[in-house]
Structure 1
Amino acid sequence: MFTERDLTLLARPLYAFLTIAPRGGRWPAPRPVWFEASDDGTLQMFSEPDGKIDRIRKQPRASVVVAAPVGEPEHWVSAEGTITLHEEGAYDLAARLGDRYWPAVGPQQRELLDDWRDSSIVRLVLTPEKVNRFTI
């Protein structure tokens, strides 16, 4: 579903804005997350087990938007679809994304990576059912 131009954008260390079903009575509120576009056409993210994970279990749908930064030609990609939760591979994904988003890992980042290794982070896999884009 992603074009080559989409994949070029998605290969960059940009934030994805993840939107899931909100808690009762609240509006949807996108959250910035690290992500990886996988060879199988999915987008993978990770999270600590929190209320977001509980809401995904109840309603396993999500959307993600990734945009080029200000100062570049406008280009964004959005994907919406089913999101699944996986315990396996979560730390490996977090470590890969740490390398991508923190090219120079300092002591503070290393401590956070160690915390993730020792926690029960969850891998989120979004399988797009619809992709929208805009490119200038």
Structure 2
Amino acid sequence: MFTESDRTLLTRPLQAHITVAPKGERWPAPRPVWFELTADEELQIFSFAGTPRVSRLRENPRASIVVVAPVGEDEHWVSVEGEASIHTDGAHELAQRLADRYYGENDEAHRELVDSWMTEDLVRIVLHPEKVQRYRI
């Protein structure tokens, strides 16, 4: 589903915005997240198991993620919609990989924070692409 240009954007350490179905009368509210493109061309993030995002995904397992090139670069974005599955396996390893990717492997300033995640109940959320939209200049 992804083009080579999409893959190039999706393998950079950029923030994505995830949107899940809101609860009650609330409006959808995207949230910034770290993400990883898997070898199976799915997008995955980690989350604390007790967050509202996880409970909403358990009720309605659909989400969208948008990744945008930074200001100063040619306009380029990729939007992915699909079913989301929640997994208890691999969440801590994903959190560590993403921390290394976004903070840097030797970033001592954030080491205590990342170490604290390893004692938490984390889940891995996998977005299975059903629809991909893109724009690139």
For Structure 1 versus Structure 2, the TM-score category normalised by the shorter chain is over 0.9
Deviation of 1:112 after TM superposition, in Å, equals: 1.4
Match of 2:108 in 1: 106
Alignment of 1:2-81 (within 5 A): 2-49=2-49, 50-81=51-82
Aligned residues: 135
Write the distance in 2 (CA, Å) between the matches of 1:54 and 1:133.
29
Code of the residue aligned with 2:107 in structure 1: it is V
Write the distance in 2 (CA, Å) between the matches of 1:102 and 1:92.
15
Match of 1:86 in 2: 87
Deviation of 1:65 after TM superposition, in Å, equals: 0.2
Question: Counterpart of 2:118 in 1: which secondary structure?
Answer: helix
Question: Counterpart of 1:63 in 2: which secondary structure?
Answer: strand
Root-mean-square deviation (Å): 0.8
For residues 42-96 of structure 1, give each alpha carbon's deviation from its aligned partner in whole angstroms, at most 9, with x where no partner exists. Answer: 0010111211111000000000000000110000000000000001100100100
For residues 81-132 of structure 1, give each alpha carbon's deviation from its aligned partner in whole angstroms, at most 9, with x where no partner exists. Answer: 000000110010010001110014124x111111111111110000000000
Q: TM-score, normalised by structure 1?
A: 0.97
Write the distance in 2 (CA, Å) between the matches of 1:44 and 1:112.
21
Q: Which blocks of at least 5 consecutive residues in structure 2 are unaligned?
A: none
Question: Counterpart of 2:130 in 1: which secondary structure?
Answer: strand
Q: TM-score, normalised by structure 2?
A: 0.96
Q: Which blocks of at least 5 consecutive residues in structure 1 are unaligned?
A: none
Report the more deviating stretch, 96-105 or 39-48. Answer: 96-105
